[in-house]
């Protein structure tokens, strides 16, 4: 029997094996989410409130951390409610919106990382042209593209998914996933699957190839320069490279888990499914806060100032 997707409520069944320790998982998830919010907002505020940090590199960092806050906001509030709930229902509309924001977070992360790679490439390989090529107006256009194009591509896919007629109502996950939603459909989903694969390829491979190209060029220039030049270049590039590799690996785990659903132990699958919404948002502000001297010094100064106010 077919039901209209407009009146369907789905049950998130991924919590079944977590039921016994759900209050522990609730406290753990709440702690992680609060740390994510705190760490990312601290670095964003440091960049926003310090005029000297209003440069393209730091603006891209703030945008990356802001994107993490959007992505985690799509997961954690509902996840925390479900740990304390008995039914764990979600409307089909809310489910598609959650999928949209989570996928948009991942796609925007790749485009923002490629924008940051471009900034580092111009800064190191074409320093005399940096002021011309990376103007603030250019930064605004790049940021617009980094958020608009992933939203547009993923939005089309979510509209296609929203038009589905469902005959199953149980998602074996702790949050909504487009691939899992397609498996609940009664009809043919080949066109939607093909579009999903197309979106995945478009959102991941061009940024990854571009980032690889920029780092080959940066490495080539570094090898031709002095030891001091290489040290300064690597100091600014190393955090970006760590974050790109980290996010690529965790996203790869989620894609593999999504495609092999049912073939891996349930608890392990749950861990894989949330890795790219836990590890990158936690590590990114820490890596940038510790590795980039300007940010680290200002964070340190901010905490010392607040501590002094508390003492006096």
Residue 307 has a pLDDT of: 56
251 with 102: CB under 8 angstroms? no
Q: Nearest CA to 270 among 284, 282, 253?
A: 253
13: DSSP letter: G
What is the set of domains in the chain, with CATH numbers? 5-311 (1.20.1070.10)
With a cut of 80, say whether residue 201 has pLDDT above it: yes
Token pair of 135 as six digits: 């103007």
The pLDDT tens digits of the residues spanning 232-290 come to 787 778 888 888 888 888 787 777 766 666 566 666 667 777 788 888 899 888 888 76
What average pLDDT is seen over the chain? 84
Rg from Cα positions in the chain: 21
Residue 291 has a pLDDT of: 64
Residue 4 has a pLDDT of: 43
With a cut of 60, say whether residue 310 has pLDDT above it: no
Strands of 170-171's sheet, edge to edge?
89-91, 9-12, 170-171
220 with 211: CB under 8 angstroms? no
Q: Nearest CA to 300 among 54, 50, 64, 66?
A: 50
Strand-pairing partners, residue 90, are: 10
Q: What is the pTM of this model?
A: 0.87
Question: How many CA atoms, within 13 angstroms, populate the side-chain half-sphere of residue 149?
Answer: 19
Residue 169 has a pLDDT of: 80
Residues with Cβ within 8 Å of residue 40, at least 6 apart in sequence: 65, 66, 68, 69, 281, 284, 285
Residues with Cβ within 8 Å of residue 75, at least 6 apart in sequence: 98, 102, 175, 274, 277
Q: Please indicate whether residue 291 or residue 50 has the higher confidence score (pLDDT).
A: 50
Tell me the residue length of the chain: 312
- The rounded distance, in Å, linking the Cα atoms of 130 and 111 is 20
- The rounded distance, in Å, linking the Cα atoms of 289 and 299 is 7
- The rounded distance, in Å, linking the Cα atoms of 168 and 186 is 8
149 with 249: CB under 8 angstroms? no
> To the nearest 5 percent, what fractions of the chain are helix, strand and coil?
80, 5, 15
Q: Nearest CA to 230 among 219, 241, 244, 239?
A: 219
- The rounded distance, in Å, linking the Cα atoms of 61 and 63 is 5
Strand-pairing partners, residue 166, are: 3, 185
Burial of 151 (0-12, 13-18, 19+ CB in 10 A): middle
Q: Please indicate whether residue 268 or residue 36 has the higher confidence score (pLDDT).
A: 36
Q: Kindly indicate the confidence band of residue 229, based on its pLDDT and cuts at 50, 70 and 90.
A: confident
- The structure tokens 């939607």 sit at 192
Residue 111 has a pLDDT of: 94
- The rounded distance, in Å, linking the Cα atoms of 234 and 228 is 10
Please state, for a pLDDT cut of 70, what percent of the chain lies above it.
87
With a cut of 50, say whether residue 92 has pLDDT above it: yes
């Amino acid at each position: 029997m077919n039901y209209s997707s407009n009146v369907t409520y789905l049950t998130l069944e991924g919590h079944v094996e977590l039921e016994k320790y759900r209050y522990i998982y609730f406290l753990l998830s709440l702690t992680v989410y609060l740390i994510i919010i705190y760490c990312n907002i601290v670095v964003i505020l440091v960049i926003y409130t310090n005029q000297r940090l209003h440069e393209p590199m730091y603006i891209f960092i703030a945008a990356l951390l802001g994107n993490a806050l959007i992505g985690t906001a799509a997961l954690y509030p509902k996840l925390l409610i479900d740990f304390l709930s008995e039914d764990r229902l979600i409307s089909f509309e809310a489910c598609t919106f959650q999928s949209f924001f989570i996928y948009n977070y991942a796609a925007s992360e790749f485009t923002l990382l490629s924008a940051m790679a471009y900034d580092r490439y111009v800064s190191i390989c074409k320093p005399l042209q940096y002021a011309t090529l990376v103007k603030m107006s250019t930064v605004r256009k790049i940021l617009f593209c980094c958020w608009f194009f992933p939203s547009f591509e993923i939005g089309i896919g979510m509209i296609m998914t929203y038009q589905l007629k469902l005959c199953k109502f149980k998602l074996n996950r702790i949050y909504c996933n487009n691939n899992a939603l397609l498996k609940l459909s009664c009809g043919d989903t080949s066109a939607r699957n093909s579009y999903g694969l197309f979106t995945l390829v478009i959102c991941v491979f061009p940024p990854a190839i571009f980032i690889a190209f920029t780092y080959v060029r940066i490495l080539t220039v570094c090898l031709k320069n002095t030891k001091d030049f290489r040290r300064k270049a690597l100091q600014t590039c190393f955090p970006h490279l760590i974050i790109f590799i980290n996010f690529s690996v965790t996203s790869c785990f989620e894609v593999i888990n999504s495609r092999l659903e049912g073939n891996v132990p349930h608890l392990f699958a749950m861990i894989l499914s949330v890795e790219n919404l836990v590890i990158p948002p936690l590590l990114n502000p820490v890596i940038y806060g510790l590795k980039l001297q300007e940010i680290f010094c200002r964070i340190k100064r901010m905490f010392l100032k607040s501590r002094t106010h508390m003492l006096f």
